[in-house]
Amino acid sequence: MPKIKAKKKKKKAAKKIALKVKKTAKEKIRAEIKPHLAKAAKRTPQLLRGFKDILPTEQKYWDFVRKKTKNIAQIYGFERIDLPILEETALFIRSVGKETDIVEKEMFSFEDRGGENISLRPEATASVARAYINHGMLNLPQPVRVFYLGPMFRYDRPQSGRYRQFNQVGFEALGDINPVLDAQMVIVSCNIFKELGIDVNIQINSIGCPNCRKEYKVQLVNYYKSQKSDLCEDCKARLSKNPLRLLDCKEEKCMAIAEDAPQIVDWLCDECKNHFVKVLEFLDELEINYNLNPRLVRGLDYYTKTVFEIWPESNEKKAQNALGGGGRYDNLIEMLGGRPTPAVGASIGIERTILRIKELEIAVPEPEKPDILVAQLGEAAKRKALGFYEELRKEGFNIAESFAKDGLKNQLDVANKLGVKYTLILGQKELSEGTILLRDMEGGIQETINYNKIVKELKKRLGQ
């Protein structure tokens, strides 16, 4: 009995300590944010740097891109997958790579209230790979084809086409090594841009497998060491940390040095070489416009063999404004603890695509306009008009209202702004007579119509 009592006492004490620790942590957080809150309370909160509001006027571009991409995804057999925006930080360290710019400088990472280190996703391929393992997708018919649409987060230096929150549409095919899938990823990406009316140029390379890359890296480092004094500071660090990334540095001096650097295609093993040749043959078959780019290495460590980027046609030198990118990642799923599973994918940046649509002044479909506005004069008419609006909605008409406004002039102004074809006016007189006024907004002609016949009349006039 005393033993049980002591145990209970111990448990109670431990609980008390835990509560105290929790309370102190909360107090610490409160103390930390208090000065910020006091400062922020004095001004209107601002949009964070690198973040964007997508206003109603912009939505037609988003609808256009989303609709076209979803359509292509379905045609090619990709099924939609939605993944969380927050993931364990370790997922990205192990996939994107510890020594990449994304992981080193660009992740939004923090500890949650439970002390777990989590990050806003900087990309979604890693999450797809995690989901493939977590949900045993290896038991599904392979390749598993999925696509996603959604926001990604990178603490990048904001500039045109570069944001801290941006959206991607991505395609992944997991569970098959066939080079036809690499070609298909390029084809799917090209077709999306074709559908949107944007001319693109594919930059393509093979970065081999870890085996052929090992020897190549030695050659590359030897070459760059001989020019070390002319390299930018970042590249000096890349020499030991991530030599492949030396090739795609955007500093002018480094770009000139990269011109004569050894090329990985000369070091590919037979398997990687054959794979790459086959991918190119498939692209030739479909007359895809591609450019062999020996300096294309991509900024994520999980790639093997094929890598590619989609550049706007007229803008070839501006690699930082790639519209999309992708490649094969045969080792990623195994690196995350799954069975060896080859895979390939691509993602397209929606903001950059929309910028290009605007630059090229491509006409996008306007949002559907309402055909009819229901106007009312007086309290009794307003009550009747509310029900009438619902009736018309159920009949399938595209209608608008301006119930919050009272005067007829104000309501007709709204009708003109919306560009409706007809305004239906309900006033005291119409209520007592069981009629409604139908105003043709183009000619301004008004006709009195029997309330019970208005639906039929509107259907006739609108050709429904």
Helices 454-462 and 379-394, interaxial angle, to 10°? 50
Q: Which is nearer to ligand HAM, 351 or 401 (by Cβ)?
A: 351
Please tell me the distance from the alpha carbon of residue 58 to that of residue 367, in angstroms, as a whole number: 11
Number of residues written out for the chain:
464
Please tell me the distance from the alpha carbon of residue 449 to that of residue 464, in angstroms, as a whole number: 18
* 326 binding ligand HAM? (CB under 6 A): yes
Give residue 13's identity as a one-letter amino acid code.
A
Candidate ranges 54-62, 203-211, 347-355, 386-394; the one touching ligand HAM (CB under 6 A) = 347-355
Please tell me the distance from the alpha carbon of residue 77 to that of residue 75, in angstroms, as a whole number: 6
Contacting residue, 145, 245, 352, 421, with ligand HAM by CB under 6 A: 352
* 140, two tokens: 């599904």
Which residue in this structure is represented by tokens 């008409």? 397
Q: Which is nearer to ligand HAM, 179 or 345 (by Cβ)?
A: 345
Contacting residue, 162, 217, 429, 461, with ligand HAM by CB under 6 A: 162
* 351 binding ligand HAM? (CB under 6 A): yes
Contacting residue, 92, 147, 148, 163, with ligand HAM by CB under 6 A: 163
Candidate ranges 59-67, 164-172, 237-245, 265-273; the one touching ligand HAM (CB under 6 A) = 164-172
Candidate ranges 29-37, 155-163, 241-249, 333-341; the one touching ligand HAM (CB under 6 A) = 155-163
Burial 152-178 (b: 16+ CB within 10 A, else e): bbbbbeeeebbbbbbbbbbbbbbbbbe
- The pattern of x and - marking residues 95 through 134 that bind ligand HAM according to CB under 6 A reads ----------------------------x-x---------
Q: Which is nearer to ligand HAM, 166 or 224 (by Cβ)?
A: 166
Per DSSP, the residues of 91-142 read: HHHHHT-TTSHIIIII--EEE-TTS-EEEE-S-SHHHHHHHHHHTTGGGSSS
Nearest residue to ligand HAM, using CB? 349
Residue 185 Cβ vs ligand HAM, minimum distance, rounded to whole Å: 8
Question: In angstroms, what is the C-alpha Rg of the chain?
Answer: 30
- The pattern of x and - marking residues 287 through 316 that bind ligand HAM according to CB under 6 A reads ------------xx----------------
Residue 148 Cβ vs ligand HAM, minimum distance, rounded to whole Å: 10
Candidate ranges 40-48, 167-175, 221-229, 430-438; the one touching ligand HAM (CB under 6 A) = 167-175
Q: What is the DSSP letter of 218?
A: H
Q: Which is nearer to ligand HAM, 148 or 397 (by Cβ)?
A: 148
CA distances 257 to 226, 262, 282, 312, Å, are 10, 11, 32, 25
Cα-Cα-Cα-Cα torsion 250, 251, 252, 258, nearest 10 degrees, comes to: -70
Binding stretches for ligand HAM (CB under 6 A): 123, 125, 154, 156, 161-163, 166, 168, 170, 172, 299-300, 322-327, 345-347, 349, 351-352
